């Protein structure tokens, strides 16, 4: 039996982090959370390690020479020193495209909330405003239609493509900026340069990876190029948006609403300017996390481990 340890089971199985959806990992040591100073001792003589956000550095690998496999419980694998893993002969796998529909659902929920103001109306009705109304309805918050508006998608991977499909289903016009547009194009989608996307979009939605090129991509200069009253959605990574610049734009009324499932630092700093900026909708990095999505994620991760033990590794990063 492969000696296996899960370093942060809570993230993917908050209902029962010590067991839950890891039931198939017979004999594994499963920890809800692992602090940086606990990583080496908890891995110990384990041959296989599963991690979601716990960082596995070169130092950790060198201190745990029995470790031959790291399964990342996510699509992104920046929590692992890939160069060190390659040098030390440690196989690293990930779980691609497990959360596409969940993230699109969440991004659209954020956008629909900003347009239809469902939460505000629910609060007002339960506070008695409707019962006190002289009319069959009452107006507590302005609403707008999405049909006919233009959404600009930055990135066109699995999530970007699914987001385009959802937007087209709502009769929106879809612009896309990507470094790798498909040669055959896509029905209803117009591929444009970044500045054109900023200038023409009523909604800008981010679906690109965090790289040195995209860090701070949405900052003061790019916001200045956007339409006045633009709405911005970020379900990608927090640092793609300059928080201070976005907060300034919200206070000035240049950006009508900033909707984010991610922030620059997570959990956020108390002084994060977006927490006190007007017209924001912020959720705690949960777009990926419906139960079905988490079950799919862990199921693929366990299959990855099984295939590796049988000499048929898949979803291999290195």
Where does the chain hold its CATH 3.40.50.720 domain(s)? 4-94+292-309, 100-278
Q: What pTM, to 2 d.p., does this model score?
A: 0.91
Catalytic annotation, pick one of 207, 237, 264, 294: 237
Mean pLDDT, to the nearest integer, of 186-195?
96
What average pLDDT is seen over the chain? 95
Q: Which residues contact 288 (CB under 8 A, 6 or more apart)?
A: 99, 102, 103
Residue in 106, 306, 139 with CA at minimum distance from that of residue 207: 106
Tell me whether residue 177 is one of the annotated catalytic residues.
Answer: no
| Structure letter (DSSP) for residue 257 | E
Place of tokens 């596995």: 56
How high is the pLDDT of residue 21?
A: 86
How high is the pLDDT of residue 18?
A: 72
Given pLDDT bands bounded at 50, 70 and 90, which one contains residue 233? Answer: very high
* CATH class, range 4-94+292-309: alpha beta
> Distance between CA atoms of 218 and 236, rounded to whole angstroms?
12
Q: CATH homologous superfamily of domain 100-278?
A: NAD(P)-binding Rossmann-like Domain (3.40.50.720)
**Per-residue pLDDT tens for 59-115?**
999 999 999 999 999 998 989 999 999 999 999 999 999 999 999 999 999 999 999
Catalytic annotation, pick one of 266, 269, 291, 314: 266
Q: Which residues contact 301 (CB under 8 A, 6 or more apart)?
A: 50, 71, 72, 73, 93, 95
């Amino acid at each position: 039996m492969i000696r296996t340890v899960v370093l942060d089971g809570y993230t993917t199985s908050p209902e029962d982090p010590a067991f839950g959806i890891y039931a198939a990992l017979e004999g594994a040591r499963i920890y809800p959370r692992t602090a940086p100073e606990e990583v080496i001792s908890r891995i110990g003589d384990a041959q296989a390690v599963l991690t979601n956000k716990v960082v596995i550095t070169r130092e950790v690998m060198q201190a745990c020479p029995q470790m031959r496999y790291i399964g990342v419980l996510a699509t992104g694998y920046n929590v692992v020193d890939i160069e060190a893993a390659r040098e030390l002969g440690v196989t690293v796998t990930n779980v691609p495209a497990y959360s596409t529909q969940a993230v699109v659902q969440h991004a659209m929920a954020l956008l629909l909330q900003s347009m239809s103001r469902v939460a505000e109306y629910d609060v007002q009705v339960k506070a008695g405003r409707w019962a006190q109304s002289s009319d069959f309805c009452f107006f507590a918050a302005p609403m707008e239609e999405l049909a006919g508006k233009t959404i600009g998608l930055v990135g066109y991977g699995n999530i970007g493509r699914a987001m385009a499909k959802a937007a087209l289903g709502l009769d929106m016009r879809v612009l896309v900026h990507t470094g790798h547009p498909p040669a055959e194009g896509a029905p209803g989608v117009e591929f444009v340069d970044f500045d054109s996307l900023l200038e023409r979009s009523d909604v800008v939605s981010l679906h690109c990876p965090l790289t040195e090129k995209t860090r701070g991509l949405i900052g003061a200069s790019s916001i200045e190029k956007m339409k006045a009253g633009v709405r911005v959605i970020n379900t990608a990574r927090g640092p793609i948006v300059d928080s201070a610049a976005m907060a300034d734009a919200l206070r000035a009324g240049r950006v009508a609403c900033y909707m984010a499932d991610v922030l620059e630092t997570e959990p956020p700093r108390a002084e994060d300017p977006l927490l006190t900026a007007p017209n924001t909708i912020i959720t705690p990095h949960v777009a990926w996390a419906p139960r079905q999505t988490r079950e799919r994620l862990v199921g693929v991760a366990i299959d990855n481990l099984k295939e590796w033990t049988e000499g048929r590794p898949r979803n291999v990063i290195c």
